[in-house]
Amino acid sequence: MRIFFLFSLLALGYASSPSPEFGSRCRCTADQACWPSASVFSDFEKSISQPLIYPLPPASACYPSSSPSGNCTEALENWDDGNWRANHSGASQSPNFETYTWRNGTISACYKETSLGVPCGQGSVPVVGIDAREPSDIQAAVNFAVKHNLRLTVKNTGHDYFGRSSGRGSFLVWTHNMKDISYNASFVPQGAPRHSGASTAITLGAGVQWHEAYDAANAQGQILVGGASAGGSVGAAGGWLLGGGHSALSPKYGLGVDNVLEMTIVTSTGEHLTVNDYQHADLFWALRGGGGGTYGIVTSVTYRTYPSFGLVAGYFVATANNTDVMRKVVTEYVRVHPSLSDAGWSGYSTLSNASLTFFYIMANGTEVAANSSMNPFFDFAKNLTSEGLTISTALTYAYPSWYAWYAGLFAHGDQNGANVQTGSRLLPRETFEYNYKELANALLELDGVAFNFVGGGQMAKINPDSVGVNPAWRRTLVHITFGTGWQDGSTVEEIQQNIGALKAKIKRIRDLTPFSGAYFNEASLYETNPQYTFFGFHYPILKVIKLKYDPHSLFVVQEGVGSEDWNSDLTCRRTLL
């Protein structure tokens, strides 16, 4: 009943708030006469702490006429490095979101393969923006964007499978250099009642990345719930969190949004708000899972931290020379996941028609407990070696701390720089319990799945209405992603053919789990019902909060709350209200 009561309160609050200011039906972009002149931008520059930036696609360094001082060798050597890309205001982690496809089928892009003979184009990379270092910079930029009706984009690291941090002809707020970090052993949210309990907490500026956050927490003997990617380049206070934020620690402590104590945010009215359970609680609720770049620009996040602990890891790597044996091992692998969850396991895996790899953890586990729960699967797999299964790794290993496990696997490496579009699904526990054979068949048909074992445990015990994230997460055991890709220079027809195959895969797994959903941060642009798929029955209340705190409708992102009111470029409203 809580969700309906909250909806009523918000509806009343919205009725007394300012009506949305719609002004022009379309946002102004750099190719239009309405775009501010150089002198107007020059005057604006005086109000911010850093010079204006003029983002360029990262491959522009290989085109002397586009970037005369660029270092092409550096760009090519670091092309796949997520941290290198994050340090460039014009780079996305997936270069396809740097491109723009015109209606006639031509593509504006800046490819690293100069031999393609395609001129370096700006594509969807914003043309001008600010290098934000403090909230006042963001406030000035927001006020400027509202005054001139600009198409606004917000970017931290560019990790985004929807391309939400890019936009053709747009004005950019780049938060990547807001790197403040502070630890507080007795944090109390602003506005909390006297004698409220204190928490160990870490406050991260908008630009802090996970490798920086983990290092800072570890220095205090603490850990926090966060993401895992090669090099730790994902932002810790941006889209990862605002979309929900899953982690190998989620079964123990909940999602990222379940561990936030407070945020600060700049809204489209230029206000810098501190939001928590006691101040602007409705906005705080929405920010925890209601989607990044939708309600304002987050300037800091305060997370609850926990004392460091040891763990046991389980590793398995196997390949098969025939699909029959792969089907057997994957079917058993799927079947045992409810019992592995109950034993305290979580982690990450990849599987296909030819291989299965996983690296799991048992937080605070003992080697005895780990072996007793994992060995039955290891033994099952070993019995298939005579049928063509080759096992190169099947073991458990104790680590002194979670940080030691993380640093060994994720501190280094590259996993970016490729043209990618994804699909995903939240797989409920009941599907594993009652339909595991069909689920195994579907996963094998996808033939290339990232199998994120990040659900169940404590996460399933949290009230689904306590935060704005998709309630489907509370029934989820595993979150899967799969995708498609293409080479630079591919035609629109070739790209669309790949996307068509991706859509078929999405339908296959959606039909198997019709009442579930998908993770907003790692999903598809081609869901048939994105509002329900990404937000579930929370969507109507999220829309009310969106209208209340963004009266200028400034913050609009692909598939985000309210995006259905805009065209595909997010530049013109479909209707006037």
pLDDT in tens, 255-286: 999 999 999 999 999 999 999 999 999 999 99
Q: Is the pLDDT of residue 24 over 80?
A: no
CATH topology of domain 311-400+415-536: Vanillyl-alcohol Oxidase; Chain A, domain 3 (3.40.462)
Assess contact for 128 and 172: CB atoms under 8 A: yes
pLDDT at 68: 84
pLDDT at 320: 96
pLDDT at 7: 39
What does CATH list as the number for 2-177+538-565?
Answer: 3.30.43.10
Beta bridge partners, 28, equal 150
Q: For the beta carbon of residue 46, count every other beta carbon within 10 angstroms.
A: 7
Q: Is the pLDDT of residue 14 over 90?
A: no
Both tokens of 277, joined, read 């359970």
Instruction: With residue 547 as reference, give the H or E element that holds it.
Output: helix 539-549
Q: How confident is the model at residue 21 (pLDDT cuts 50, 70, 90)?
A: very low
pLDDT at 9: 40
* pLDDT tens readout for residues 535-558: 999 999 999 999 999 999 999 999
* pLDDT average, residue stretch 215-239: 96
Looking at the chain, the whole-number percentage of residues with pLDDT higher than 70 is: 95
Assess contact for 275 and 468: CB atoms under 8 A: no
Q: What letter would DSSP give residue 480?
A: E
Q: What letter would DSSP give residue 26?
A: B
* pLDDT average, residue stretch 140-169: 96
pLDDT at 70: 85
* pLDDT tens readout for residues 282-330: 999 999 999 989 999 999 999 999 999 999 999 999 999 899 999 999 9
Q: How far apart are the C-alpha atoms of 490 and 497, rounded to whole Å?
A: 11
Distance of CA 502 to the CA centre of its chain: 19
pLDDT at 318: 98
Tell me what the pLDDT averaged over the chain comes to.
94
Name which of 58-67, 217-226, 407-416, 486-495 the model is least confident about. Answer: 407-416
State the angle between helix axes of 492-512 and 436-446 in degrees (0 to 180), rounded to the nearest 10.
170
Q: Is 199 helix (H, G, I), strand (E, B) or coil?
A: strand
Q: Is the pLDDT of residue 15 over 50?
A: no
pLDDT at 10: 43
Q: How confident is the model at residue 65 (pLDDT cuts 50, 70, 90)?
A: confident
pLDDT at 12: 37
Q: How confident is the model at residue 576 (pLDDT cuts 50, 70, 90)?
A: low
| Owner of token pair 């918000």 | 10
Q: How far apart are the C-alpha atoms of 562 and 539, rounded to whole Å?
A: 10
DSSP, residue by residue, 81-123: -HHHHHTSTT--SSGGGG-EE-TTS-EE---S-GGG------T
* pLDDT average, residue stretch 66-71: 85
Beta bridge partners, 87, equal none
Both tokens of 377, joined, read 């699967």
Beta bridge partners, 170, equal none
Assess contact for 425 and 479: CB atoms under 8 A: yes
Q: For the beta carbon of residue 94, count every other beta carbon within 10 angstroms.
A: 24
Identify the residue with better confidence: 23 or 246: 246
Under the phi-then-psi rule, with left for phi > 0, alpha for psi from -120 to 50, and beta for the rest, what region is 456? Answer: left
Assess contact for 200 and 229: CB atoms under 8 A: no
Q: Where in the chain is the domain with CATH 3.30.465.10?
A: 181-307
Assess contact for 134 and 206: CB atoms under 8 A: no
Q: How confident is the model at residue 5 (pLDDT cuts 50, 70, 90)?
A: very low
Q: Where in the chain is the domain with CATH 3.30.43.10?
A: 2-177+538-565
CATH topology of domain 181-307: 3.30.465
Q: How confident is the model at residue 415 (pLDDT cuts 50, 70, 90)?
A: confident
Q: How far apart are the C-alpha atoms of 176 and 366, rounded to whole Å?
A: 40
Question: Which of 185, 322, 247 lies closest to 521, judged by CA?
Answer: 247
| Owner of token pair 């298939």 | 384
Q: Is the pLDDT of residue 180 over 60?
A: yes
* pLDDT tens readout for residues 333-375: 999 999 999 999 999 999 999 999 999 999 989 999 999 999 9
Question: Which of 235, 236, 237, 202 lies closest to 218, judged by CA?
Answer: 202
